[in-house]
Structure 1
Amino acid sequence: MQKVQIVCIGKLKETYWRQACAEYEKRLRPFVDFQIRELPECRLPDAPSQAQIDAALEEEAVRILEACRGGEVIPLCIEGKALDSPMLAAHLQQAANESAGRISFVIGSSFGLASSVKQAGRLRLSMSPMTFPHQLARVMLCEQIYRAYQILHHGKYHK
């Protein structure tokens, strides 16, 4: 069974976001070994300098890349490629055919991702040119992963 994870910086604080992710995690169980890995974000002062932000992103990058070892990395970033749902499904199928041991989608902190994480991805994914809160982006990504596996298994969810 293919392994898919979302590696993200920070925790979901509100119960409704956690419940939404848990629902998609449950729905994904028949298709993939799915998990969400929350990594701690670096603490920064209220008005951090660019040097402090860069240092925090590099520190987070070390933890992210360790969590993603052994598979394909798909960082979410604004400069990434926008895919429709069938295209994402096709990419997941191709990764499975190429024996990617695990697929790791990565959501960074509110300051984004270090370039080393972005460069680790053969595909950089953009959800939209719009900016979303990280909590909502996580739920949307869970839904799109579920939709992709519904497409691959000819389910009725995607119309």
Structure 2
Amino acid sequence: MNINIISVGKIKEKYLKNAINEYSKRLSRYCNLTHIQVNDEKAPENLSEIEKEKIKEKEGERILKHIKDGTYVISLAIDGDMLSSEKFAKKLDQLAIQGESNIVFIVGGSLGLSKEVLNKAKYRLSFSPMTFPHQLMKVILLEQIYRGFRINKGEPYHK
């Protein structure tokens, strides 16, 4: 299985980089993993709704350039489906069974994802109704993908 994670913005914090590297290393046993980072737009406080949409559109254009035809796109969106780790593992397994061997996860920037990116997604996934920093969300996503593979292989993993 090929998994691409497209995320907006650079990871600056060393502890987050270390976590991303650790889970990427662990995942190398289960899949081919690539990370694609696109530049984020400056988003000062007190933006109008129109300005927010324009920022999301610019970031969305950068994201869409990296999505190839024939990929199964999963966007992380607060209004997406919330799954337990076991159900997420089952989702990954079902995708593999259905022949979806190229999966793209999209982690948006601080304002979220554009309508165009959300419309491109075949599935919307939410980890919580809470808002998380997008850099931390990438770590959480990697951990859950790793956990999903461990569950599917019947390998032990802490609960």
**Which interval holds the TM-score relative to the shorter structure?**
over 0.9
Structure 2 portions without partners, runs of 5+: none
Corresponding position of 2:117: 117
Deviations 1:97-121, CA, capped at 9 Å, x for gaps = 2222411111111111011211222
> 2:15 is paired with a residue of what secondary structure?
helix
After TM superposition, the score normalised by the length of structure 1 is: 0.92
Amino acid at match of 1:6: I
Distance 1:106 1:23, change over 3 A: same
Secondary structure of the 2:52 match is helix
C-alpha distance in structure 2 between counterparts of 1:83 and 1:68, whole Å: 24
Partner of 2:140: 140
Relative to structure 2, which stretch is displaced further, 91-100 or 18-27? 91-100
**Residue 33 (structure 1) aligns with:** 32
Alignment of 1:47-66 (within 5 A): 47-66=46-65
Which residue number in structure 2 is paired with residue 9 of structure 1? 8
Instruction: Using the TM superposition, give the Cα deviation of residue 66 of structure 1 relative to its aligned residue in structure 2, in angstroms.
Output: 2.2
Give the RMSD, CA atoms, in angstroms: 1.4
Cα distance, 1:54 vs structure 2 = 1.1
Secondary structure at 1:124's aligned position in 2? strand
Q: Give distance in 2, aligned partners of 1:128 and 1:106.
A: 16
Question: Partners in 1 of 2:34 and 2:20 — Cα distance?
Answer: 10
Letter in 1 for 2:151: I
1:150–1:158: 8 Å Cα contact kept in structure 2? Answer: no
| AA partner of residue 30 (structure 1) | R
Return the letter of the residue paired with 1:68: I
What is the alpha-carbon distance in structure 2 between the residues aligned to residue 46 and residue 134 of structure 1? Answer: 17
**Who is 1:89 aligned against?**
89
What residue number does 2:23 align with?
24
Aligned residues: percent identity? 38
Q: Which amino acid aligns with 1:32?
A: C
- Give the TM-score taking structure 2 as reference length: 0.92
Task: Kindly indicate whether the alpha-carbon contact (under 8 Å) linking 1:151 and 1:158 is maintained by their aligned counterparts in 2.
Answer: no
Aligned residues: 158
Cα distance in 1 between the residues matched to 2:154 and 2:62 = 36
Moved more, 110-119 or 142-151: 110-119
Q: Which residue in the other structure is 1:130 paired with?
A: 130
